[in-house]
Amino acid sequence: MEYVIVNFIENRAVMANGKKLGQTNQTLLIEKGNHNFSLDGLQNYRPAQVMAVIKDTTTITPYQITFNLV
């Protein structure tokens, strides 16, 4: 099991590969491998999507992704 946090100024649904994974700013469970992250709702953030290889994470050191409000 791997862990990821998607940082964003608002509380939004996090989409992994087009499917809801959880909420922003929470430590989320995810399967090891390649994933494409984005946010649900308004497209008022950058980058539009983040492709990442998630591996070797722990609950203490989750993979960090940040989207910025524009």
8 touching another protein, by CB under 8 A? no
48 touching another protein, by CB under 8 A? no
- Residue 39 beta carbon to another protein: minimum distance, rounded to whole angstroms: 14
Q: Is 27 within 8 Å of 1 (Cβ atoms)?
A: no
- Residue 46 beta carbon to another protein: minimum distance, rounded to whole angstroms: 20
Torsion (CA) 36, 42, 44, 46 in degrees, nearest 10: 0
Binding positions for another protein, rule: CB under 8 A: 1, 3, 5, 16-23, 25-36, 53, 55, 58-62
